[in-house]
Amino acid sequence: MNTATIAEVLPCMAEDDGALVPGCPELAEVLLVDRERLSTAIRDLQTARDILDAIIAAAPAGPAPPG
């Protein structure tokens, strides 16, 4: 979460038996939007990784990359 989302979410959090739970009804929508943003970023990164894998697989053999 970015700091703006945390600032919005934090006052709406409550504790229930040691677990954090949403305390404001509108919190679910904020969290769903942020979750979708993260899911999109993950998909984009996976696509970029797959493209890199394809390029690496097609490259002529050379020294192994570091790491």
Average model confidence (pLDDT) for the chain? 86
pLDDT-derived band at 63, boundaries 50, 70, 90 = low
Q: For residues 7 and 16, what is the distance between their CA atoms, to the nearest angstrom?
A: 20
CA 24 to chain CA mean position, Å: 23
Residue 26 is predicted with a pLDDT of 83
Q: Is 7 helix (H, G, I), strand (E, B) or coil?
A: helix
Higher local confidence (pLDDT), 3 or 45:
45
Nearest to 7 by CA among 44, 47, 34, 38: 34
In 1-67, where does DSSP find H-type helix?
A: 3-9, 27-58
